[in-house]
Amino acid sequence: EYLQLELSHWLQLNYELNNHVESLKTEITKIVNELNPTCLSIKGLGAMTAAVIVAEFGAFDRFGSPDKMLAFVGLDCDQHKSGTMQRLRLRWTGKRSPCKSADLTKECWLRL
């Protein structure tokens, strides 16, 4: 009986937390839509990803070029062209968290 009561308590807590997360997502989406950041124009990029990007970068006009934005998150982009082939390589430079850099970059590159 004790385990059943404990399980019931944890399931109720899980339900309440999921509801809270959903309400936070709704509020974040509302705020992002009011801000209407430039990154929302990227095809397939949603409000939650835009919120992460805006929180990380702030105002995009602070950066003079895309290379400076990549450098801000600790990435270096090499571009190699050969005939009709084009290859982009991103390298972590160690200035920022590799996980955060990879997440932001992945979201942006996959949406292009």
Which residue's structure tokens are 């950066």? 63
pLDDT for res 112 = 44
Does 45 or 77 have the greater pLDDT score? Answer: 45
Return the closest-CA partner of residue 49 out of 112, 108, 98, 110: 108
pLDDT for res 105 = 58
Question: 48-94: per-residue pLDDT in tens?
Answer: 888 888 887 777 778 788 777 777 777 676 666 777 777 766 666 66
Query: Residue 49, exposed/middle/buried by CB under 10 A (0-12, 13-18, 19+)?
Result: buried
Question: 9-40: per-residue pLDDT in tens?
Answer: 999 999 999 999 999 999 999 999 998 887 78
Phi/psi of residue 77, nearest 5 degrees: -110, 125
**Quick check: 71 and 54 in contact, CB under 8 A?**
no
pTM of the model: 0.58
Does 76 or 7 have the greater pLDDT score? Answer: 7
